[in-house]
Amino acid sequence: MKRIVLEEVMYECGVCKTRFPSKTSAQRCEKLPIEKKEFKIGNSVTNVSAFGLASEPRKPLYFTGKVIGFILRPDHIVETPRHRVLYTISFPRWGVRDMYAHHIRLVNRQ
Ligand SMILES: [Zn+2]
């Protein structure tokens, strides 16, 4: 048996921590603008569609949860490449989900 140690050099974007095999890709990522945050940690939000549910229910299910964090994700494919904000939301009845802003909306407190 031979023990083989592979060494790999990766370059990490200083903004979103995504790792790339090339320095230029990481530099390109660092230059991407950051999407404006629409929600803050602690905000109560609800899903706007049944997005993410395994089986399509007859009636869409809407759950209320709380924003507990966010991470930045690079999006190089869209017309305007940018770092997008992926919100981590804790839904008491649905578990923890990562969702983009267009999948959630703020819940008005009475
Ligand atoms: Zn990045």
Give whole-number Cα distances, 78 to 32, 47, 82, 96, in Å: 12, 23, 8, 26
pLDDT class for 51, splitting at 50, 70, 90? low
Distance CA 100, CA 86 (A): 5
Residues 60 and 25 in one domain: no
Residues 6 and 59 in one domain: no
Residues 60 and 95 in one domain: yes
> In the chain, how many domains are there?
2
Q: From the CA of 13, how far away is ligand 1's center (Å)? A: 5
Give the contacts of 70 (CB within 8 A, at least 6 positions apart): 37, 39, 41, 85, 86, 87, 88
CA dihedral 42, 84, 107, 91 (to 10 degrees): -60
Residues 74 and 41 in one domain: yes
- Domain extent at residue 11: 1-31
Q: From the CA of 57, how far away is ligand 1's center (Å)? A: 36
Q: From the CA of 109, how far away is ligand 1's center (Å)? A: 35
The reported pLDDT for the residue numbered 58 is 60
Residues 20 and 37 in one domain: no
Residues 16 and 39 in one domain: no
**How confident is the model over 65-102, as pLDDT tens digits?**
999 999 999 998 888 899 999 999 999 888 999 999 99
Residues 27 and 52 in one domain: no
Q: From the CA of 12, how far away is ligand 1's center (Å)? A: 8
Q: What is the pTM of this model?
A: 0.78
Q: From the CA of 74, how far away is ligand 1's center (Å)? A: 5
Q: Record the tokens describing residue 5, joined without a space.
A: 């140690």
